[in-house]
Amino acid sequence: MADSNTIRLRVFSLNCWGIRYLSKHCRERYAMIGELLSREEHDIVLLQEVWSEKDFLCLKRKLSSTHPHSHYFKSGVIGSGMATFSRHRIHDAFLYRYSLNGYPYMAHHGDWFGGKAVGMVILNIGSLAAHVYITHLHAEYSREKDSYLPHRVVQAWELQQFIRHTSSGADLVILAGDLNLHPQDLGNRLLRTYTGLRDSYTETAKFDGCEDGITLIADNPFINPKELCPFEKGIRIDYILYKGSGRVSIQCESLSTTKGSVPDHPFPYSDHEALSAELQLQTLTQQAGGDETRGDQDCAAGKLAELVDIVTEARTEVKVGLYCAERMRYTAARTGVMGLALLLLELAIAAVPWLGADQPFPRASFYLLGVLCFAILITTFLLYIFYTMEVKSLQGAEDQMRLAVGSLQERLRRFPLAQPLNPLCRPPDRQDPCPLEPEE
C-alpha cells in the first residue's frame, strides 16, 4: 500500500437562502458569496437554494475564470435550487427526483414546488473519477409534530439507494448539502450506515467553526431563535460527507464553518453557515483487501446487524406515513361523496317546483350551493389523486425496505458468529471499513 500521489481537494457547501424579493439582502449576499468563491477557489462548490436561474447565471459569469465548469439542476415548478461549480471538468450530470416531497397545498412551506432531488456530477480529478452528489431534503418545520417525517425518511432512503447504486465505478464519493437531518436522526443513520459515507465533522482532527459544528445558529441575524427551540444554540443539518475506494484513501484534513457573521460586512452569507472541507486523497498503488481477518468479519456482521435495525426503524416510520396517507385519502374520498350527495340533493329540491310544489328554490342560494358542491368535488378529486400517488410511493419504499432487510438478514446468517456482535467497531487506521456493497 505505497502512496504514489497525494491530491488536496477543497469542497464548499452552502444553503444560500436565495428566494428573490423574499429573502433578506438576497442580491448583496449573492455578491458576497461570489466574492468569497472567487477568492477561495475551492475545487468543488455545492450550493443549495439558488432558486433563481438568473442568480445562478450571475454567479457563473463571476466564477468563469476560477470555476469554468458548472451545472444547475432543474426540477419541479421552481427548480431544485441546486447548483455546482467546479475547477475540474464535469463529464456527466444526472438527477434523481424524490418520489415524495411534501404537499402542494402547503404552499407556505413551499417544499413541494421546489422539486427536491439529488443531483450527481461526475468529474475527473487527475486520473480519479469523482462522483459528487448534492442534495437538499424536505425541511423540518416542527420537531415535536413533524408531519413530513415519513417523506424525509423516504428521501433519505432514496438518497442512499441512488448513491449506492451509482457510485460503483467511482474512485471517490462526495455528498454535500442541507440534509435537514440532525446527526443522529434516522435518515442520517440510514444514509451513513448504508453507503459507508463519513462525516467530515466527526472525522477531522482540525475543526474551526461553531460549537458542535452547528450550521443553523441562533446568533445568525436571519434566524428566529424561537424556530430552533428546543435547541437554544442551534442545530447541525448541513454536511460534507465522503468516502474513498480501493484505489483512493481519503482523509479530512480540516473542516471550517462560518460563524454567523462576515468581517467587513453587515450580515452573513445566508441563514445557514457555509462549510469548507479540505480533503486529502491518496491514490493507492496496491489494492487493499483479500486478507480478511476474523475481526473484519465481526465488524462487517456488526454493521449488517446495525443496518437491519435502522432499516426496520425506517420501515416503521414509512408505515406510519402510509397509515396517515391512507386516512387522508379516505377523508378526501368521503368528503367528495358528501359533496356529490349534496349536489344531487340540491338538484332534487330544485326540481320540486316543476313537479308542482309551491315554494321555488331561491335562485341565488341554488347557484352558490352548486358552486360549493363543484368546488368540493374538484378539490377532493385532485386530493384523492395526490394521496394515491403518495400511498403508492410509500408502499414502494416499504417494499424495497422489506426486500433490503431480507437480503441483509440472509447475508448476516452466512457469518460464522461465536461472539456477540460489535455494531460500532471502526478500525481507525483503515479506509472505509466494512463497506456494505450489494455483494462483497
Report, in angstroms and rounded to the nearest whole number, the Rg of the chain calculated over CA atoms: 26
- Please state the length of the chain: 440
**Whole-number minimum distance, CB 197 to a second copy, in Å?**
17
Sign of the alpha-carbon torsion through 214, 425, 245, 119: negative
Where does residue 21 fall: left (phi above 0), alpha (psi -120 to 50 degrees), or beta otherwise? left
Q: Looking up cell 469548507, which residue turns up? A: 276
Q: Could you tell me where the DSSP H helices lie in 251-362?
A: 294-351
**Residue number with CB closer to a second copy (93 or 421):** 93
**Residue number with CB closer to a second copy (196 or 268):** 196
DSSP strands (E only) in 16-140: 44-48, 69-73, 82-86, 90-97, 117-125, 128-136
403 binds a second copy (CB under 8 A): yes
Q: Looking up cell 457469518, which residue turns up? A: 415
414 binds a second copy (CB under 8 A): no
Residues 368-387 that bind a second copy (CB under 8 A): 368, 370-371, 374, 378, 382, 385
**Whole-number minimum distance, CB 95 to a second copy, in Å?**
6
Percent helix / strand / coil, the chain, rounded to 5: 40, 20, 40
**Dihedrals phi, psi of 270, to nearest 5 degrees:** -165, 180
* Assigned C-alpha cell, 54: 438568473
Residues 196-255 that bind a second copy (CB under 8 A): none
Among 46, 137, 172, 404, binds a second copy (CB under 8 A): 404
61 binds a second copy (CB under 8 A): no
Q: Is 272 annotated in the active site?
A: yes
**Residue number with CB closer to a second copy (150 or 213):** 150
Q: Look at strands 90-97 and 117-125 and give their pairing.
A: antiparallel
Among 52, 66, 254, 400, binds a second copy (CB under 8 A): 400
Type of residue numbered 121: V
Site string for a second copy, 127-146 (x = CB under 8 A): --x-----------------
Q: Which range in 2-10, 92-100, 216-224, 260-268 contacts a second copy by CB under 8 A?
A: 92-100
Among 135, 220, 393, 431, binds a second copy (CB under 8 A): 393
**Residue number with CB closer to a second copy (262 or 436):** 436
* Assigned C-alpha cell, 235: 442545530
Task: Kindly list the catalytic residues.
Answer: 272
Chain positions contacting a second copy, by CB under 8 A: 71-77, 79, 89-97, 99, 115, 120, 122, 124, 129, 161-162, 165-166, 168-169, 363-364, 367-368, 370-371, 374, 378, 382, 385, 388-389, 392-393, 395-396, 399-400, 403-404, 407, 410, 437-439
